[in-house]
């Protein structure tokens, strides 16, 4: 059983949803992205999703765009993502658009990630039709493969995509890009229910989740809650590393309390 699977098992035993926190590697700097991850975990985040900054993040709203741009301006290189994963004390996945992985070398990327203890990869723009080399490489390295499905995804396609997911299935809460929203639409719950009909793999809900109240709602029907932009926003708004990490830890604490059922 992988560390990720153990985390799900533990959360289930404690009657709560898993809390997953997202941060881009190298934002605002390499060291600070690592210290912010540690602050998240101290606050109660179970699993870390490390973003690989990319120049053309079409699935991301203004906050993650800005964070990615900052990381790249500050000299982030693909290889740095492995340093961040290695330094993360919790089970950690990478979230990456496809081109940086392909450019690094598909097999090499999977191999390096496994070497530093990574759990798997979330690929928001890789379709199953284009996944042949990815599936064989991640299978070989025994890495989890997480695809992102959306409210518009048909039942047939949910079956196809879920069958290729492992670890968990990422359910986008709404039609749109990342970034905090005031409401989580009812689309999220019905999507999770549709996935549950075709797959036994855990389902985590992300996109737009920023508050304890939202996390509490989602925890009622999903196996995990994913929060990203809200953490990044706190870092962007802070004047120092210590201020940022305090705020990050406190949001993590609020969210961790909220995911208990």
Partner 1 sequence: MTTDLIGHFGRFGGRFVPEALIGALDELSLAHQEALNDPTFQVELMELHRTYTGRPSIITEARRFSEYCGGARIFLKREDLNHTGSHKINNVLGQALLTKRMGKKRIIAETGAGQHGVASATAAALLGFECVVYMGEEDTKRQALNVARMKLLGAEVIPVTTGSRTLKDAINEAMRDWVTNVATTHYLLGTVAGPDPFPTMVRDFHRIIGDESRAQMLELIGRLPDAVLACVGGGSNAIGIFYAFLNDQSVRLIGLEAGGTGVETGKHAATIVGGTPGVLHGTRTYVLQDDDGQTRESHSISAGLDYPGVGPEHAYLHEVGRAEYRAITDDEAMEAFSLLSKSEGIIPAIETAHALAGAMKIGKEIGHESALLINLSGRGDKDVQTAAKYFGIPL
What is the set of active-site residues?
Answer: 49, 60
- Kindly determine how many residues on this chain lie close enough to bind partner 1 according to the rule CB under 8 A: 39
Is residue 83 part of the contact set for partner 1 (CB under 8 A)? no
- Interaction residues for partner 1, span 134-153 (CB under 8 A): 147-153
- One of 20, 90, 126, 205 touching partner 1 (CB under 8 A): 126
Is residue 154 part of the contact set for partner 1 (CB under 8 A)? yes
- Among residues 170, 107, 97, the alpha carbon closest in space to that of 134 is found at 107
Task: Please name the residues in contact with 134: beta carbons below 8 A apart, sequence gap of 6 or more.
Answer: 101, 106, 110, 123, 126, 145
Which residue, 6 or 77, is less far from partner 1 as judged by CB?
77
Is residue 155 part of the contact set for partner 1 (CB under 8 A)? no
- Interaction residues for partner 1, span 25-54 (CB under 8 A): 54
Is residue 65 part of the contact set for partner 1 (CB under 8 A)? yes
Distance between CA 261 and CA 16 in Å, rounded? Answer: 5
Is residue 103 part of the contact set for partner 1 (CB under 8 A)? yes
Is residue 61 part of the contact set for partner 1 (CB under 8 A)? yes
Q: Give burial (CB, 10 Å; 0-12/13-18/19+) of 159.
A: middle
- Among residues 50, 52, 58, 116, the alpha carbon closest in space to that of 82 is found at 116
Q: How far is the CB of 34 from partner 1 (least distance, A)?
A: 20
Distance between CA 75 and CA 34 in Å, rounded? Answer: 16
Measured CA to CA in angstroms, residue 179 lies from 13, 40, 97, 228, 257 at distances of: 31, 18, 17, 8, 22
Is residue 55 part of the contact set for partner 1 (CB under 8 A)? yes
The DSSP letter of residue 104 is: H
- Chain residues that interact with partner 1, rule: CB under 8 A: 54-59, 61, 65, 69, 72, 77-78, 98-104, 124-127, 129-130, 147-154, 157, 161, 172, 175-177
């Amino acid at each position: 059983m992988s560390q990720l699977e153990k985390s799900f098992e533990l959360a289930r035993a404690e009657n709560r949803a898993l809390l997953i926190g997202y941060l881009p590697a190298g934002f605002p700097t390499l060291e600070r992205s690592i210290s912010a991850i540690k602050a998240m975990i101290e606050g109660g985040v179970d699993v870390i999703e490390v973003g690989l900054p990319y120049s053309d993040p079409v699935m991301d709203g203004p906050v993650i765009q800005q964070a990615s741009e900052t990381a790249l301006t500050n000299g982030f290189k693909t290889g740095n993502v492995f340093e961040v994963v290695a330094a993360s004390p919790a089970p950690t996945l990478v979230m990456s658009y496809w081109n940086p992985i392909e450019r690094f070398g598909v097999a090499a990327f999977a191999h390096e990630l496994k070497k530093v203890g990574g759990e798997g990869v979330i690929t928001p723009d890789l379709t199953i039709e284009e996944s042949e080399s990815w599936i064989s490489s991640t299978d070989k390295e025994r890495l989890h493969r997480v695809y992102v499905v959306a409210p518009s995804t048909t039942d047939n396609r949910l079956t196809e995509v879920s069958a290729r997911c492992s670890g968990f299935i990422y359910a986008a809460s709404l039609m749109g890009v990342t970034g905090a929203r005031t409401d989580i639409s009812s689309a999220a719950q019905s999507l999770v229910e549709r996935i549950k009909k075709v797959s036994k793999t855990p389902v985590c809900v992300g996109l737009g989740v920023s508050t304890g109240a939202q996390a509490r709602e989602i925890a009622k029907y999903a196996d995990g809650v994913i929060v990203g932009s809200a953490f990044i926003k706190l870092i962007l708004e802070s004047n120092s590393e210590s201020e940022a990490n305090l705020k990050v830890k406190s949001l993590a604490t609020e969210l961790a309390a909220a995911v208990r059922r």
